[in-house]
């Protein structure tokens, strides 16, 4: 199973919005509404930010939102804050009790 495709970097100024794409195939992103997004700060463990395409776990700010169209999922961070600077990874269920992750996108707050 190939990794999902993400742009290597994205950036925005404080208060602006940034959107990260995650492209897969009909066998993963397009086939299941089971896309998750994780935030990872340097040297730290990943943190779940979005699950089931657009749901937020308790405690995650509503500045974070997710969506999906066809084989591409997206994460939007609105009202960028300095603490949002991190690596973001998408993940999708691919069937047969397995998941695949993307290569990651580094978000820089200018």
Is 100 a binding residue for another protein by CB under 8 A? The answer is yes
Examine residue 39 and tell whether it contacts another protein (CB under 8 A). no
Enter the DSSP assignment of 26. T
On whether the CB atoms of residues 28 and 93 are closer than 8 A, the answer is: yes
- Does 89 bind another protein (CB under 8 A)? Our answer is yes
Residue 51 as a binder of another protein (CB under 8 A): the answer is yes
Region of 9-17, 47-55, 67-75, 77-85 interacting with another protein (CB under 8 A): 47-55
How far apart (Å, rounded) are the C-alpha atoms in residues 94 and 21?
18
Q: Which of 26, 29, 19, 8 is nearest to 101 (CA)?
A: 29
Which residues contact another protein (rule: CB under 8 A)?
1, 3, 32, 34-36, 38, 44-48, 51-52, 57, 89, 91-93, 97-104
């Amino acid at each position: 199973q190939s990794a999902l495709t993400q742009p290597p970097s994205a950036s925005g100024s404080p208060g602006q919005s940034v959107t990260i794409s995650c492209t897969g195939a009909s066998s993963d992103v397009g086939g299941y509404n089971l896309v998750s997004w994780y935030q990872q700060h340097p040297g730290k463990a990943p943190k779940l930010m979005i699950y089931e395409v657009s749901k937020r776990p308790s405690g995650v700010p509503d500045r974070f939102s997710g969506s999906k169209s066809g084989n591409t999922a997206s994460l939007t961070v609105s009202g960028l804050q300095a603490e949002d600077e991190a690596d973001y990874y998408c993940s999708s269920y691919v069937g047969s009790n397995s998941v695949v992750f993307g290569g990651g996108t580094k978000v820089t707050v200018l």
